[in-house]
Amino acid sequence: MVIEAVLFDYSGVLTTSLHMPTDDVPYDPDALFVEMAAALASTEPHRWHELERGEISLVDFCAGVEALVPGASSLFAMDGAHNVMANLSLIDDRLALVGELKAQGLRTGLVTNNVAEWQPFWLPRLPEGLFEIVIDSAGVGHRKPEPGIYELAMQRLGIVEPSTVLFIDDFEWNVAGATDIGMVGLHCPADLDLRSALGAFVSLP
């Protein structure tokens, strides 16, 4: 099947990876790592999932995480000294790659697990018109790897056949969520040569 659309994750694919500082911080890094690792990879209910689906506010989440790991709210609060979203850097070469795909007639979309209150940190930074659709989990009530968020992306693009959609993410479980509904998946770790990897699916100059 010919690829018609390419869907990108935001953090870790178009930006540097999320980073939780471990030096000179007001929280216990080991305790926070255990908590967030469970939140990101688990399919069990978690307040992080609720936050990413827009079911609770950032203020409520910060209060909860502060009770579990004192000082950790500095990573998540809007005015937090170590806010993980505010400290991400865009990868210009990958943004240019999206533009090349779009110029070749491929549909392009962004599908991100995110926090409603963080939108000012990232959305204005994206070049206008680069993506045909932008889906923020907190605004649609679904998060990766739940099937609903991938299905919504297809619906908004007007695509019926999932095998014509290539989904790119830095978390393997999110790629698995896409392939589970029939999309083509590409795992994108930080050191991946994305241009070369894309060459297996689409034609690039």
Please tell me the distance from the alpha carbon of residue 202 to that of residue 205, in angstroms, as a whole number.
Answer: 10
| Ordered structural domains, the chain, with CATH | 5-16+89-198 (3.40.50.1000), 29-75 (no CATH)
pLDDT value of residue 49: 94
Q: Hey, what are 65's tokens?
A: 């995480």
Q: Quick one: CA dihedral 19, 41, 39, 174, positive or negative?
A: positive
Please tell me the distance from the alpha carbon of residue 176 to that of residue 170, in angstroms, as a whole number.
Answer: 11
Weakest-pLDDT range from 46-55, 66-75, 121-130, 177-186:
66-75
Stretch 50-77: mean pLDDT, rounded?
92
Q: Looking at per-residue confidence, does 192 or 35 come out higher?
A: 192
Which uninterrupted H or E stretch holds 8? strand 5-8
Total Cβ atoms within 10 A of residue 98: 21
Q: How far is CA 129 from CA 27, 51, 57, 147, 160, in A?
A: 40, 27, 29, 26, 23
pLDDT value of residue 64: 92
